[in-house]
Amino acid sequence: MFSIIGILIVLGSVIGGFLMEKGKLPVLVQPAEFLTIAGAAIGTVLVANPMHILKGIIAGVIGVIKGGVVPKKRYVDSLKMLFDLFSKARKEGMVAIEADIEEPDKSPIFSKSPEFLKDHHVMSFVCDTMRMAVTGGVKAFDVDQMMELDLEVHHHTSMAPTLALNSMADALPGLGIVAAVLGIVVTMGALGGPPAEIGHKVAAALVGTFLGILLCYGVIGPLAANMTKAVEAEAAFYGVLRTTLLAFIKGTAPIMAVEIGRRAIPAYVRPAFAELEKACRDKSGAEGA
């Protein structure tokens, strides 16, 4: 929502300043220039990227509009879910959680967290890691290396749409110049015509450069920057899961494992110690010893 507001402020400020200087708004309405720039920009993205990255760009832009920050509630719910899982493993043995991690959609623990079940990568990350712990014979250091590798691959995949959108933003000023040059070519062909007509064509050519720069620095570039921050927020969330899982695999008590994970949460969404402890104790009734 804030991204849409920001874009509206950018466009409103630019158009408002133009109107304050007695500019005529219809002059800026140049469908041919917009078609040239937008069409060429979309074409460059299609040429340079495979389908899964194109889908990632669309999903990323939608995510930016919805808001890409991982809220405090998701951190609390995720740590509480891990606390329940760890407590069951501590009380009944690691084998007791095998059914939970093999069929998470049927697990009474995971079913309390719909967001966890909807996010297939998070679900796989947690279940695959705990599967190593249940299997046994794998050192905590090796499990941590596997988690790090998994997160590196996921981060690289998540950044690809952002980089593609950045490349599109970088191309827009150049494409604006292309549209302007084409406008000048059209103008040169009309030099014998009325001065008003020539002036209109020159204005249309300059609008091409204007649109290219505005779309780059006022719309597409900021969207790409916001997508980057969303990827970073997701990486921070995975980092908390990794820290918490590793702490338990090393033999830390469940309540202390989630506390270690809490310390890894970014400060602006980090719950207080008492808030997390209350969520774990009140909702599960487990002691986590």
Q: How many whole angstroms separate alpha carbon 48 and alpha carbon 168?
A: 10
Q: How far is CA 94 from CA 84, 125, 289, in A?
A: 13, 18, 15
Per the listing, tokens 């609390």 go with 76
C-alpha to C-alpha distance for 261 and 256, rounded to whole angstroms: 9
In the chain, the percentage of residues whose pLDDT exceeds 70 is 97
Report pLDDT for 284: 47
Per domain, the residue ranges of the chain are 25-284
**Which residues of the chain carry a pLDDT beneath 50?**
284-289
For the chain, helix (H) and strand (E) counts, in that order, are: 12, 0
Q: Give the residue among 153, 162, 154, 136 at the shortest CA–CA distance from 249.
A: 136
Q: Residue holding tokens 């969520």?
A: 279
Residue 186's pLDDT is 85
H-helix segments, 136-220: 140-188, 195-214
Predicted confidence (pLDDT) per residue in 46-69, tens digit: 999 999 999 999 999 888 887 767
For the segment 60-107, what is each residue's pLDDT rounded down to a tens digit? 988 888 776 789 999 999 999 999 999 999 999 999 999 999 999 999
Query: What global pTM score does this model have?
Result: 0.85
Buried b (16+ CB within 10 A) or exposed e, 144-160: beebeebbeebeeebbb
